[in-house]
Structure formats: C-alpha cells, structure tokens
Chain A
Amino acid sequence: AQKITQTQPGMFVQEKEAVTLDCTYDTSDQSYGLFWYKQPSSGEMIFLIYQGSYDEQNATEGRYSLNFQKARKSANLVISASQLGDSAMYFCAMREGEYTGNQFYFGTGTSLTVIP
C-alpha cells in the first residue's frame, strides 16, 4: 500500500492566489515526520517545510504552511500569494519512527503551474 498519496497530478493557480496541494499518509507509527519538497525544472529538490507528528501547531515557513489534520492523516501544503517562480513539481514525504536517519517515503508529486 502507498504510504504517501498525492491525488493531484497537476494543478493550476492564478498568480497572487492561494493554492492547496493535497497529501495523505498511511502509518501505524506514533512518531513520524512529514516533509514537502519543491522540484523546479532545473531538477534540484528543495526542502520547504516540516511537520512532526507530535507538533500541535501547523508548521509555517514564509508563504508556505502545512495544514496538518492528524485524525484524517492529511498534510496538505498551502502556498499563499502564488508567484510565477512557484511553478514546479511538489513532493510530499514521510519519515516513520524515532530514528531520524530513516528513509523517506514519497508521493508521486503534483505539478503546479502558476498562471500570470
């Protein structure tokens, strides 16, 4: 079974609007971390935001916020005030367990296009 599911292969958003990229996860561990990465056309993977399973507040990093709904096992990324430079692939990832060196599980990604 997929540990990370991203159901939106492609998304479009108007510049300056907000957009939500969906991510659901599947784990039986109590301790886990959720990550979002951005992959622009240049190929490098850029870390955006992290949410720990024990964190009570939703994570925020500038224009990025993570809508963490633990009971629903969802960790949606919200990008506010979209910019043209936000056009990229976005990957949701999870690391299970207490050991911080454990592997990441990734989703299939969402391709975001920001329209001027």
Chain B
Amino acid sequence: EAGVTQFPSHSVIEKGQTVTLRCDPISGHDNLYWYRRVMGKEIKFLLHFVKESKQDESGMPNNRFLAERTGGTYSTLKVQPAELEDSGVYFCASSQDRLALRNEQFFGPGTRLTVL
C-alpha cells in the first residue's frame, strides 16, 4: 500500500512568489492534515480536512495560505505571496476516520520550502 506522498520534495522561491504544495494521502483516509516545522522548532499544526471539508484551520498563520482538498482526495497548500518566515518543512499526514483511540497519523516525507 502506498504511503502519503508529497510533491515537490524541495522548493526554493523568492519572496513574493507563489508556491503550491501537493499531498496525496493514503487511499481511503478521510482525515488529512497539514503541519509545518520551522528550523529547530516544534512541528505545528496548520489545518485538518475531513474528506473535502475543512474541519479545523485554526493553525493557518494568515490569509496568504490557502488549502484545498479536491473531491476528498489529494490536497494542495498554496502560499501567495511567500514571505521569508514561510520557510520550513511542510508535512502532510492522513488517518482513517475511526473510533479506535490509537488512530495514528501517517506522515509524508515533507516538502522543504526555502524562501529567499
């Protein structure tokens, strides 16, 4: 079974440009999450989709960030316009919608974004 995949693995852009990150969750996983890790700091939650709906977007830093999940499958995270402080590693994770308390999240390898 394929894991969570993310594209691209690296992106280097200049301040003011636009970047779109893509995440393909594990097939059948209704929950999809975006997280970000800025160098040396903790991994921070950005938002959570259940199927195509935004369940929780309390971690989105500002309106320069736009996340979508088309048809409840893959998701994109667009940053427009990018600022220097947006640099970091963006992780996508997915999990099943189930009652079992464990219900771990499966993470992708991340996209390393560098804004110059």
Q: Which residues of A contact B2 (CB under 8 A)?
A: none
Q: Which residues of A contact B98 (CB under 8 A)?
A: 100
Nearest-CB distance from A62 to chain B (Å)? 16
CB nearest to A106 among chain B residues: B43
Choose from B89, B101, B109 the contact partner of A52 (Cβ within 8 Å): B101
A101 within 8 A of B: yes
Contact with A along B60-103 (1 / 0, CB 8 A): 00000000000000000000000000000101010101111111
Q: Which residues of A contact B44 (CB under 8 A)?
A: 106
Which of A11-19, A43-51, A71-79, A80-88 lies on the face that meets chain B? A43-51
Q: Which residues of A contact B102 (CB under 8 A)?
A: 33, 50, 52
- A58–B61 Cα distance when bound, in Å, is 37
A35 within 8 A of B: yes
Q: Which residues of A contact B31 (CB under 8 A)?
A: 101
Minimum-distance CB pairs A-B, first 6: A45-B107, A106-B43, A100-B103, A103-B45, A43-B109, A44-B109
